[in-house]
């Protein structure tokens, strides 16, 4: 590796300058829109084409917190998403263990079936689901929104932990069994602990998938139940950009919190590992 | 004799325990399977019958509410709703936009992911680490926010136009054009592609790259003959997931795209809600699904190929 690096490092200054320019452009491309919107949460007004806003204010924040509809949306999101994640764990983690460790009839079909379900356009599925929801009286209900969001988490909660469970070395478990540990203890202290990073990534991804889900929740939840993302749809149309900016910052907050929690494992390959059917 | 007997017994025991664990495994896998069958499989099947003109049973309510509903005139149904869609003057433009945006965005996403991934694999270092981290940021931003942020950034009074006007450059308003959909799609797809590509490239041993260099292979030759062939499965997975995701996307084209022509995801929603033509809306969903299934086959092929290579099949 050292040699590989050394050889290319001798390359010209031109390459280096090109790289820095490329990095700067990437930074503008990715972070630019976020900063631009974020700053708007604190400005009174911004006249084109000035590079500075006309003034600074916290007015929009009080406006968001005073608006009961927005507050309800925030509360709904904070209640629904944890429920979705816990339900998803209860439903999917045993299946993930089975898919990672056992060989049962239809195992591959199970994994591919999960994927096939993912390739039907979401918005088309939500339109199709409406029929079923009317029949089951789930339209505009809390449970209906939970189920819709649950569907989006399944692929994360089955695939990523399945790969993590599969990667736990069997001989470690056998050694612990030989040393006299009970089956449950081996599972708790070895299997579960080693698979934990994968499960953590799955939990984070599922939470974000649920917390950010907008199309389905809007179709089955509105106008009775609004979550933060579905509120955004009406927000961007009916409120000044600054209010949408405040709301965006609030909506992005849990994500930023979770990025610091799981960043290492996500970059460490747990996510990528989970998306290869084995 | 005795040892043969115990061996046979042990084998017998193993068979028993695997068959028991396979039954258990099946039951453990059942709950998410059931959920998907009930809330994805069955709705899609019902929708298929509806698109073919079966208007009774579960489709009764939607058939009464909806307009321009075609009822079946053969035992298998009718293609009238499909004909409606294909004859619609907007459809060719929408389909073309959907395919072009999906293809172009996937291509650009893979190109950027490969460029950054290869650079990180071969050079390593601080710049590579910063760039990879940068590209992961979109993973943690809800699509509703990122679409809206990109919308304001490239809008008529957005940052790009404001900044460049100070240099006397009249930057075009990108928002509400097809290019904006591509920008938004690449933006949101980048993290997943980067993760897949870098994890694939990292698993290639250094020794292979060094051997190729010792044999006199240059940078591009190593990339072409060693790195890409060995990491092709994760690259294909990244590409197929990206393409399928973009093809069915809704929020990004809604916030960033033009009114006409737009992507089919938006049109499905328009036909279902605003135009109240649910049957035609479902037909469009199946058209997108058909295209996505073609891509999904590539994904499954890549997985089977990699499973064969590592001897799992």
User: CB-based contacts of B107: which residues, under 8 Å, 6+ apart?
Assistant: none
Query: Which residues in chain A have their CB less than 8 angstroms from residue B144's CB?
Result: 212, 214, 229, 232-233, 251
Phi, psi of A43 (to 5 degrees): -110, 150
CA distance A99 to chain B (A): 7
Instruction: Flag if A36 and B21 touch (Cβ within 8 Å).
Output: no
User: Locate tokens 């079909």: which residue?
Assistant: A109
Q: Which of A166-170, B11-15, B127-131 has the lowest mean pLDDT?
A: B11-15
Confidence bin at B14 (pLDDT 50/70/90) = very low
Query: Angle of helix A68-101 relative to helix A59-66, nearest 10 degrees?
Result: 80
Region B24-47: what's the mean pLDDT? 85
Q: Cα–Cα distances in Å, from A208 out to A84, B77, B151, B243?
A: 11, 41, 22, 21
Region B94-111: what's the mean pLDDT? 93
SS3 track for chain B: CHHHHHHHHHHHHHHHHHHHHHHHHHHHHHHHHHHHHHHHHHHHHHHHHHHCCCCCHHHHHHHHHCCCCCCCCECCECCHHHHHHHHCCCHHHHHHHHHHHHHHHHHHHHHHHHHHHHHHHHCCHHHHHHHHHHHHHHHHCCHHHHHHHHHHHCCCCCHHHHHHHCCCCCCCCCCCCHHHHHHHHHHHHHHHHHHHHHHHHHCCCHHHHHHHHHCCCCHHHHHHHHHHHHCHHHHHHHHHHHHHHHHCCCHHHHHHCCCCCCCHHHHHHHHHCCCCCHHHHHHHHHHHHHHHHHHHHHHHHHHHHHHHHCCCC
Q: What percent of chain B has pLDDT over 70?
A: 91
Residue B270 clears pLDDT 90, i.e. is over it: no
Nearest to B40 by CA among B291, B289, B294: B289
CA distance A125 to chain B (A): 7
Query: Tell me, what's the pLDDT at B96?
Result: 92
Query: Tell me, what's the pLDDT at B276?
Result: 83
* Closest chain A residue to B123, measured at CA: A5
Look up the ipTM and state it. 0.81
CA distance A181 to chain B (A): 20
Confidence bin at B116 (pLDDT 50/70/90) = confident
> Could you give all domains of chain A from N- to C-terminal order, each with its CATH number?
12-57 (no CATH), 68-274 (1.10.3720.10)
Instruction: Flag if A248 and B157 touch (Cβ within 8 Å).
Output: no
Residue B268 CA to residue A120 CA, distance in Å, equals 13
Query: Tell me, what's the pLDDT at B184?
Result: 94
Tens of pLDDT, residues A34-47: 998 888 888 888 87
Least CB–CB distance from A128: residue in B122, B199, B285: B285
* Closest chain A residue to B269, measured at CA: A123
Instruction: Among A8, A120, A210, pick the best mutation site for testing chain B contact (most B Cβ within 10 A).
Output: A120
Least CB–CB distance from B143: residue in A36, A104, A212: A212
Over chain A (278 residues), the average pLDDT of each successive run of 10 is 46 78 88 90 81 82 82 89 94 88 74 70 80 82 92 86 84 84 82 84 87 84 84 81 85 78 67 60
Query: Tell me, what's the pLDDT at A6?
Result: 43
Q: Are B265 and B248 in contact (CB under 8 A)?
A: yes
Q: What percent of chain B has pLDDT over 90?
A: 11
For residue A7, what are its two tokens?
A: 């050889």
Confidence bin at B150 (pLDDT 50/70/90) = very high
């Amino acid at each position: 590796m050292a040699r590989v690096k050394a050889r290319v490092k001798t390359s010209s200054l031109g390459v280096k300058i090109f790289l820095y320019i490329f990095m700067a452009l990437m930074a503008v491309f990715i972070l630019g829109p976020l900063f631009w919107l974020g700053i708007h949460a604190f400005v009174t007004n911004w006249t084109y084409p000035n590079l500075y806003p006309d003034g600074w204010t916290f007015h929009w924040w009080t406006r968001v917190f005073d608006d009961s509809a927005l507050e309800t949306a925030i509360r709904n999101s904070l209640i629904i998403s944890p429920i979705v994640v816990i339900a998803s764990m209860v439903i999917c983690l045993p299946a993930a263990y089975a898919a990672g460790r056992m060989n049962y009839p239809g195992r591959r079909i199970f994994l591919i079936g999960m994927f096939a379900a993912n390739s039907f356009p979401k918005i088309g599925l939500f339109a199709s689901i409406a029929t079923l929801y009317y029949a089951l009286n789930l339209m505009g209900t809390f449970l209906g929104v939970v189920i819709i969001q649950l569907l989006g988490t399944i692929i994360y909660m089955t695939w990523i932990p399945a790969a993590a469970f599969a990667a736990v070395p069997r001989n470690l478990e056998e050694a612990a069994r030989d040393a006299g540990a009970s089956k449950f203890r081996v599972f708790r202290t070895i299997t579960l602990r080693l698979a934990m990073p994968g499960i953590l990534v799955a939990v984070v991804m599922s939470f974000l998938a649920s917390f950010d889900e907008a199309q389905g929740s809007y179709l089955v939840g509105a106008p009775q139940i609004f979550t933060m993302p579905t509120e955004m749809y009406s927000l961007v149309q009916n409120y000044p950009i600054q209010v949408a900016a405040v709301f965006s910052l609030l909506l992005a907050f849990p994500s930023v919190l979770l990025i610091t929690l799981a960043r290492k494992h996500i970059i460490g390959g747990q996510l990528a590992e989970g998306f290869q059917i084995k | 004799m005795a040892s043969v007997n115990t061996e046979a017994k042990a084998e017998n025991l193993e068979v028993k325990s695997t068959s028991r664990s396979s039954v258990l495994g099946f039951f453990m896998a059942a709950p998410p399977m059931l959920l998907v069958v009930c809330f994805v499989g069955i709705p899609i099947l019902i929708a298929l019958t509806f698109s073919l003109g079966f208007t009774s049973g579960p489709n009764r309510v939607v058939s009464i509410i909806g307009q321009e509903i075609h009822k079946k005139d053969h035992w298998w149904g009718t293609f009238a709703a499909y004909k409606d869609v294909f004859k619609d003057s907007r459809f060719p433009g929408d389909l073309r936009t959907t395919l072009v945006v999906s293809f172009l965005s996937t291509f650009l996403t893979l190109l950027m992911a490969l460029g950054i991934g290869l650079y990180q694999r071969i050079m390593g270092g601080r710049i590579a680490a910063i760039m990879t981290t940068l590209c992961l940021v979109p993973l943690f931003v809800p699509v509703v926010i990122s679409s809206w942020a990109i919308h304001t950034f490239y809008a008529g009074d957005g940052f790009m136009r404001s900044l460049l006007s100070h240099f006397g450059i009249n930057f075009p308003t990108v928002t509400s054009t097809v290019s904006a959909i591509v920008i938004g799609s690449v933006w949101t797809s980048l993290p997943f592609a980067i993760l897949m590509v870098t994890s694939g490239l990292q698993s290639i041993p250094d020794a292979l790259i060094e051997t190729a260099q010792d044999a006199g292979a240059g940078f591009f030759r190593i990339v072409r003959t060693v790195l890409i062939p060995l990491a092709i499965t994760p690259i294909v997975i990244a590409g197929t997931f990206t393409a399928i995701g973009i093809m069915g996307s809704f929020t990004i084209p809604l916030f960033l795209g033009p009114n006409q022509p737009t992507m089919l995801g938006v049109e499905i929603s328009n036909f279902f809600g605003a135009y109240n033509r649910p049957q035609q809306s479902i037909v469009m969903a199946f058209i997108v699904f058909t295209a996505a299934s073609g891509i999904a086959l590539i994904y499954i092929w890549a997985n089977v190929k990699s499973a064969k290579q590592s001897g799992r099949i």
